Structure 1
Amino acid sequence: MLDALTLDQLRMFVAVAEAGSFRLAAGRLSRAQSAVSHSVANLEMELGTSLFDRSSHRPVLTVEGRALLEDSRSLLLRADLLRAKARGMGSGLEIELIVMADTLFPVSIIGEALGRLHAAFPSVSVELCSGTLGQPAHALLGGTADIAITVGEDLRDSRLEFEALTPVSLTSVVGATHPLASGAKEAGVSAVDLADFVQVVLVDPSSRTQGMDFGVLSQRRWRVGSQAEKLELIRAGVGWGRLPEWLIADDLEKGWLVLLPTAALGKGGKTVSWSYLARRLDKPLMPAAAFLRLALQEIVVIAGRYGTTRENF
């Protein structure tokens, strides 16, 4: 009966397959060779099939053994993760960590930090969400995020604590085929010039920026919900807008986008703001969130990375 299978039997089967002999497997597991051999034989009896061909000097996986090896490894991995999650629950470790990041913050930095988190706490599940403008703060205050990354100082809240991470840069650009592109290359572009064309801006699904504008100069606006959508429309020549420098570096280098050096949008058409790690004052960080906080701080300080800025622009 398969109900009689044990994890110990599967672990010994995998050890023999990987070591290539019962003796070496026994050494790795700190078990007697006879115990390993007996356990694998019992497993074969339970499964009703031979896992190893023992006719030669060393055991060789049978066709059935090769087919069942990966399944056995998978079951053992799932069991180890179950144990780790149970231990974490007993020690106060989060089962799940929800992170909300401003779309202006470099994704590469978040990815590296979450990679470190996974290595340190493999049992913790992570939900990574991205948001614009007031969304990160709104998610924290609404209890739908455990930790957030915000950009800029416009949307502070006394119920949240903010810790500076790294400067972020926002650049005003237009597609190479747009009428503004030639003027930008030749004589520069004024705020009046920009007002005559469509500006691609971000929408804030939260209510925190209602009635507020950030860097909006044109009455003709196309609204989008992400930086990726905004980039595609600007590339296509629909209008101009402000985008995070880390996102458009390749486009500028390849000539697909053109810088708009307008003083009304910062020196040379660029503005710099700070990004912040935010959390609720009434909710101390639990182990995984605290680890992520330190990982982010270490990455931006040691690596000296610089990213983007905020907008509705």
Structure 2
Amino acid sequence: MLDGMTLGQIRTFVAIADAGSFRAGAAKLLRAQSAVSHAIASLESQLGVLVFDRTGRRPVLTSHGKALLEDARAVLLKVDFMRARARALSEGLEMELSIVVDTLFPMPLVAAALRELNQALPTVRVRIEVAALGGPFEALAEGRCTLGITVGQGFSDPRIELASVLPVPFVAVVAASHPLAEIARRRARLRSAELAEHLQIVQEDPSRLSEGRDFGVLSPQTWRVSGQDTKRALIFGGVGWGRLPLWSVERDLGAGHLVRVPAAAFGSDGETTEPSYVAHRIDHPFGPAARFIRDWLLQHGKPAPAARPRRPRDR
């Protein structure tokens, strides 16, 4: 029967296996060697198998012991994790942190923040979702996430507090093989009327917050997509032109796969900048993990520039 098995016996088993001897295992556990020997004998009696061969000068794991050692380690890891989570809960730490990130925000920066969070608060589970346009705001408003990371100034809610993170540059681009690319190479600026002659790839808002509105749509010929990955793939494939975050296309521009479209409506060289924010509900609990991510992003992101007249934007 296994009902009499204790965590102490399991810890002793692992300690001896790691230390290589009963004496070294006892020293590691700060226990007498006789107590360690008794614990292993009791464990073997409970399991009904020998975990150590004691016939030589040093104990050697039996085949059963080798098979059970992995299980023993897993049990201890789970118990230690449970204790850490209980301690965290008593201190107000969240069990899970839910984040919705604007698809336009630099994901490498989010990954770096989450890596640091996992090292600092390893018991916190994270659920992350990527959404476009009003998606992060809608998720916050409906209470489906704790933190939202947004780009642009198109949305507001009195229940949602914004903290400025960093400016996100956007560029109008087209595939090097597209007819518009040759024009863009020759011309310093392109008028909206010229761009209107070519198909524009536009990101649709999956939320209801911008229903009936378009952002920066210059062409009467548009294809609507549900995600930035699809938008980038269509532009890269030469289907049409559109605007994308600079961080997501820098390599393609450098390699010559994409060409900047110097659209006058989007600023110099077809590039504009939008502010980004980390957002949370002021009426919802804001725990240590959420605070960690917010503070990390504020520290490592550059502050957004002062407010200025808004230009049309296309996602």
> How many angstroms does 1:311 deviate by?
5.4
| Structure 2 residue aligned with 1:33 | 33
The count of aligned residue pairs is 306
What SS does the aligned partner of 1:99 have?
strand
C-alpha separation between the residues in 1 aligned to 2:313 and 2:131? Answer: 11
Note closer, same or farther for the CA distance 1:97–1:17 as it changes in structure 2 (3 Å cut).
same
> How many angstroms does 1:158 deviate by?
2.1
Equivalent position amino acid for 1:265 in 2 = F
What SS does the aligned partner of 2:3 have?
helix
> How many angstroms does 1:174 deviate by?
0.7
Query: Contact 2:137/2:148 (CA < 8 Å) preserved in 1?
Result: yes
| Structure 1 residue aligned with 2:116 | 116
Worse overlay, 116-125 or 132-141? 116-125
Equivalent position amino acid for 2:69 in 1 = L
| Structure 2 residue aligned with 1:63 | 63
> How many angstroms does 1:100 deviate by?
0.8
Unmatched tracts of structure 1, length 5 or more: 303-309
| Structure 2 residue aligned with 1:54 | 54
Query: Contact 1:152/1:275 (CA < 8 Å) preserved in 2?
Result: yes
What SS does the aligned partner of 2:130 have?
strand
> Is the counterpart of residue 297 in structure 1 residue 269 in structure 2?
no
What SS does the aligned partner of 1:213 have?
coil
> Is the counterpart of residue 241 in structure 1 residue 221 in structure 2?
no
Query: Contact 1:133/1:312 (CA < 8 Å) preserved in 2?
Result: no
Equivalent position amino acid for 2:221 in 1 = R
Query: Contact 2:134/2:209 (CA < 8 Å) preserved in 1?
Result: yes
> How many angstroms does 1:172 deviate by?
0.8
Query: Contact 2:167/2:302 (CA < 8 Å) preserved in 1?
Result: no
Cα deviations across residues 239-268 of structure 1 (Å, max 9, x unaligned)?
111111111111112221111111211211
C-alpha separation between the residues in 2 aligned to 1:6 and 1:311? Answer: 63
> How many angstroms does 1:286 deviate by?
1.4
Query: Contact 1:202/1:311 (CA < 8 Å) preserved in 2?
Result: no
Instruction: With the length of structure 1 as denominator, give the TM-score of the two structures.
Output: 0.92
C-alpha separation between the residues in 2 aligned to 1:92 and 1:131? Answer: 28
> How many angstroms does 1:54 deviate by?
2.0
Counting aligned pairs with the same residue, the percent is: 48
C-alpha separation between the residues in 2 aligned to 1:161 and 1:108? Answer: 24
| Structure 1 residue aligned with 2:260 | 259
Query: Contact 2:53/2:60 (CA < 8 Å) preserved in 1?
Result: yes
Map 1:157-236 → 2, pairs under 5 A: 157-188=157-188, 189-236=190-237
What SS does the aligned partner of 1:112 have?
helix
Note closer, same or farther for the CA distance 1:157–1:24 as it changes in structure 2 (3 Å cut).
same
C-alpha separation between the residues in 2 aligned to 1:63 and 1:190? Answer: 77
Indicate the RMSD between aligned Cα atoms, in angstroms. 1.8
Cα deviations across residues 187-209 of structure 1 (Å, max 9, x unaligned)?
25332221122211111111111
C-alpha separation between the residues in 1 aligned to 2:14 and 2:314? Answer: 55
| Structure 2 residue aligned with 1:306 | none
C-alpha separation between the residues in 2 aligned to 1:114 and 1:277? Answer: 14
Worse overlay, 146-155 or 190-199? 190-199
Query: Contact 1:95/1:124 (CA < 8 Å) preserved in 2?
Result: yes
Equivalent position amino acid for 2:162 in 1 = F
Equivalent position amino acid for 1:67 in 2 = A
| Structure 2 residue aligned with 1:42 | 42
What SS does the aligned partner of 1:250 have?
helix
| Structure 1 residue aligned with 2:12 | 12
Unmatched tracts of structure 2, length 5 or more: 304-311
Note closer, same or farther for the CA distance 1:81–1:248 as it changes in structure 2 (3 Å cut).
same
Equivalent position amino acid for 2:39 in 1 = S
What SS does the aligned partner of 1:223 have?
strand
| Structure 2 residue aligned with 1:271 | 272
Instruction: With the length of structure 2 as denominator, give the TM-score of the two structures.
Output: 0.91
Note closer, same or farther for the CA distance 1:111–1:49 as it changes in structure 2 (3 Å cut).
same
Equivalent position amino acid for 1:218 in 2 = S
What SS does the aligned partner of 1:248 have?
helix
Note closer, same or farther for the CA distance 1:301–1:263 as it changes in structure 2 (3 Å cut).
closer
Equivalent position amino acid for 1:299 in 2 = H
> How many angstroms does 1:312 deviate by?
4.1
| Structure 1 residue aligned with 2:308 | none
Note closer, same or farther for the CA distance 1:70–1:299 as it changes in structure 2 (3 Å cut).
farther
> How many angstroms does 1:284 deviate by?
4.3
C-alpha separation between the residues in 1 aligned to 2:77 and 2:314? Answer: 45
Cα deviations across residues 87-143 of structure 1 (Å, max 9, x unaligned)?
222222211111111111111111111122122222211100111111111111110
Worse overlay, 50-59 or 160-169? 50-59
